[in-house]
Copies of this chain bind each other. A is one copy, B any other.
Amino acid sequence: MAKPPKENSPITEHLAYLLAQANREINRQLELRLSKEGVPVEQWRILKVLSDGNGHSMGELADAVLLNHPTLTKMIDRMVSDTLVYRVQDPNDRRKVLMFISDRGKVLCKKLNSLAVDQEEHILESYGDKSTSELKRLLESLIDSSN
């Protein structure tokens, strides 16, 4: 009756592996859509966070888009070159840099959003409304319980 010891369980049964696999697959699909506009997923996330119109510091942004600081700095450099975003020094704390989205960035973000919505709708179709919202709920709670 006893379950087999975890030590021998195949890798495909580990939560860490299932998460990696699902993440890889969903991300691949999203990449594919966003590549229509030639934009990596991370840049879409950045634009989306900034599209609230408020200034966000690099630290905030790095947390929000799941990138570490140097990687974000270099990605932002590229986006500044493409005039999608711009830097402003925070007047209240001059260590900080506040990032803003440009008009061009807003236009691009709209297009990207609808590509992303396409994908979510595609998932809803093949995976189901109920499973999707249940999965989201469980993921949120896993993330919560990990802090």
Contact = CB atoms under 8 A, between A and B. Distances in A.
Interface of A: 6-8, 10-11, 13-27, 29-30, 41, 45, 48-49, 64-66, 110, 113-114, 116-117, 119-120, 123, 126-127, 131-132, 134-136, 138-143, 145-146
A50 to B, nearest CB: 11
A142 B122 CA distance: 12
B19 A19 contact: yes
Contacts of A145: 126-127
Given A11-B48, A45-B11, A135-B138, A18 B117 contact: no
Nearest to A47: B11
A100 B141 CA distance: 39
A131 B141 contact: yes
Instruction: State the oligomeric state as a number of copies.
Output: 2
A138 B146 contact: no
Contacts of A15: 26, 120, 123, 132, 135-136, 139
A68 to B, nearest CB: 11
A22 B132 contact: no
5 contacts: A11-B64, A16-B30, A17-B45, A20-B23, A22-B143
B7 A16 contact: no
A97 B36 CA distance: 37
